[in-house]
Amino acid sequence: MLYKMAVENSAFSLDDSMTESTRLVLKERNDGIIDKRPRKVSHTRKLVVMVAGLVQQFVSVGLGFGLSIMYVELIAVFDAKRSDAALIQGLYLGLAVGTGIVLTGVIKKVGPGPTIIVGSIVACIGLFTSSFAQNLSTIIGLTGVVAGLGMSTCYLSAFISISWIFHEDPGFPLVCLTIGSSLGQFVIPFLYEYFISEYHWSGAFILVSGIALQCIPFGVIIYTSREYFVKSDLNNDDRKDSSTCEGYTVLLKDIVLWILLFDFLIIALSGNVEAWFIVDIMTSRGYTRESGSILVSALGFANFIGRVSGSTLRFKCTKIPTVYHWLWLCPVIAFGHILVINVVGYWGVFAACILQGAAFGMNNSQTPTIMFEASGLARYPQAMSMVNLMYGIGNLFSNVIGGVIRDSFGQYDIAYYIAAGVTILITFNSAIVSCILHRRRRREVQYDSLK
């Protein structure tokens, strides 16, 4: 009604004393058309949406990392090759993280809330029906493909909804959002271990399918917050290329984006070797599966500490590009890879996992902000979908390549050394990006001084 009156009278004055629930911000553009802006969002609403996004990350990523426990069990149950069993976890995380690039347009059109609800149901069906599988190939299809595709909408929708509701400055909230995945990596492997011990692998699939359904109520919360979303900055020219295709075209013209995407791909190929294979490594050294499961959760806990530290770092260092921090983080990650495979003794491996997990968590926490700084609000869904595609490809092939290396050479050492070398390469690439960004910032300062 208020909007109709504004159009008819060509004017509408807003009283600052109006309540938040009734306020509409109307802005008249240069062409005389009046835009209807979303309602002003309260801090409570922002917090609720943030919690909903954290749950999406917790479930979608946590279920994937928990499959490293199932990996060892299924090898024994079906007498399978490691390269074959690795496809379950690889496909799940590859699709859950990487297929968002084909769903970006759907999420932007339908909204993140409904896509989360549908995706959660599809993932539940895939995991539940895996319980009745008679062979490994069926589990690969149901868990790896069906559940992975279902969770892909939950994963990407979390980033999009946070960027839309914290549209004024989403850098810090986006870093905080990644904490959900480390919490999932910490908690859910414990649940896998307990479920397998008590109810066998088939019963474990039934129980973890219920975890997937936990995304639904939080998807409803995101859906009810849709009126607060801002999808582009209407004060600048981002409107002109905020559509999906145009956004991709603009982004792919930037050399910085190409370097960053390459870095995201190779760090996804190398960064998770501990999470993928530490259980198998420890069992091959004579330890129990439960001991390996503790190390997976330790990695998740360290990852959580790293992401909290990354959030604090982003909050304190707002005046420098976030990619600068990769110059010192990547060498630490490389050192962690070397330690994990060379340290003798359980507690030595435990300490090495803590070091690598914390550094890798801090590194990963900064990815969404790095891309937001490179793309802007209007093109951020497209930019993040491309990042997720790189992560998806990396997660798929790193898992399979590691399994092939183990089948071929009888150990994982080569995979860890490759991971260390790749991480050093990312350090050099980050230095190149930092130099380019420094020159751009200096030109912007010079331009502003001439105005």
Packing angle of the helix pair 148-165, 100-110 (nearest 10 deg): 50
Q: Residue 129: which residues within 8 A CB-CB, separation 6 or more?
A: 142, 146
Q: What is the pLDDT of residue 35?
A: 43
Which residues, other chains included, contact 42 with Cβ-Cβ below 8 Å and sequence gap of 6+?
Answer: 20
Which pLDDT score is estimated for 424? 94
Are the C-beta atoms of 96 and 151 separated by less than 8 Å? yes
* pLDDT given for residue 10 in this prediction: 38
Q: How many CB atoms lie within 10 A of CB 42?
A: 12
How confident is the model at residue 246, as a pLDDT? Answer: 59
Residue type, 66: G
User: Are 93 and 396 a contacting pair, CB within 8 Å?
Assistant: yes
Query: What pLDDT sits at residue 34?
Result: 37
Q: What is the pLDDT of residue 451?
A: 60
| Residues composing the chain | 451
DSSP-based three-state secondary structure for 248: helix
Task: Please tell me the pTM assigned to this model.
Answer: 0.72
Boundaries of every domain in the chain:
2-36, 43-450
Residues 6+ apart with CB under 8 A from 95: 144, 145, 148, 149, 151, 152, 392, 396
Contacts of residue 270, defined as CB under 8 A and 6 or more positions apart, other chains included, come to 337, 394, 398, 418, 419, 420, 422, 423
- Tracing tokens 């926490």 back to the chain, one arrives at 365
% helix / strand / coil in the chain, to the nearest 5? 80, 0, 20
Q: What is the pLDDT along the chain (451 residues), one digit of tens a residue?
A: 434 444 444 333 334 434 333 333 334 334 333 344 556 778 889 899 999 999 999 999 999 988 988 988 999 899 888 888 888 988 998 888 877 677 777 888 888 999 999 999 999 999 999 999 999 999 999 999 999 999 999 998 998 898 888 877 777 788 788 888 888 988 998 899 999 999 999 999 999 999 999 999 999 999 998 888 887 654 444 444 445 565 567 677 788 888 888 999 999 888 888 888 888 899 888 898 888 888 988 888 898 898 888 878 777 776 777 888 889 999 999 999 999 999 988 999 999 999 999 999 888 888 888 887 777 767 777 777 788 788 888 877 887 888 889 888 888 999 999 999 999 999 999 999 888 887 877 777 676 666 6
- Residue 4: helix, strand or coil by DSSP? helix
Fold that domain 43-450 belongs to in CATH:
Growth Hormone; Chain: A; (1.20.1250)
Here the tokens at position 88 are: 């379950």
